[in-house]
Amino acid sequence: MFSHEEIKKRVAEYAADYVEAGMTIGIGTGSTVYWLLQELGKRVQQGLHFKAVPTSRQTQTLATELGISLVDLNNVDQLVLTLDGADEVAPGLQLIKGGGGALLQEKIVAAASRQLIILADESKMVNVLGRFPLPVEVIPFGWKQVQKKIIQQLGCQLVELREKNGETFVSDHGHYILDCHFSQITDTPELNEAIHNIPGVVETGLFPNMADIAVVGYADGRITTTTSTLP
């Protein structure tokens, strides 16, 4: 049986095979993506040439250290694919992302890609989204008004302002994040739209109908690929 960290590493090594010479890709953020970057860094040293758009300062820093060539998204017409992790993956490849706080850039990069490939271990697979609190990125001005509306208008049980090391967490773009405990999210596109309609919301961690493939690792060593059923 493989440990949690070993599963992530194996999934990352498997998913690295999607990256081919000459591609311009997006690279996400998170613990599984850490291992992906390590593997891609090795392949760069072995002669693989590609360019990547990072989704966070964290990814940008590590990719640079590993010799991966980076490019600004504004200088790219379209990305061939994006490789990223997720906090929850439900049937139909509906996602919750943003546990690391990079949801805004992750969604922008995913939307600029022909394919979004999600790397996950079996613990991230759920029957319905909502066990993991839904991150919602908001501007600092009036964040309590957004918090109140998510509770009163959308029936959320608890909305917490994210903190890190005893201080309010601030995203790469200077925003706050509200972690919303919905318990169950049965209609991802509808909730995503409803939250976006609240003034002050920048982005949500819901990725409705955006993922194309999920590469999932299991403790017994299996790695499976699931493809979205959307046309």
- Can you say which residues are annotated as belonging to the binding site for substrate? 29-32, 84-87, 97-100, 124
Task: Point out the catalytic residue in the list 106, 137, 160, 190.
Answer: 106
Indicate if 106 belongs to the active site.
yes
Tell me how long the chain is: 231
CA contacts within 13 A on the Cβ side of 18: 25
Q: Which residues contribute to the annotated binding site? A: 29-32, 84-87, 97-100, 124
Interior CA angle at 63 toward 58 and 65, to 5°? 100
b/e map of 5-29 (b: 16 or more CB within 10 Å)? eebbbbbbbbbbebbeeeebbbbbb
Q: How many CB atoms lie within 10 A of CB 115?
A: 17
> Within 13 A of 29's CA, how many CA atoms are on the CB side?
24
Sign, CA torsion 10/13/16/18: negative
For the annotated catalytic residues, the residue numbers are: 106
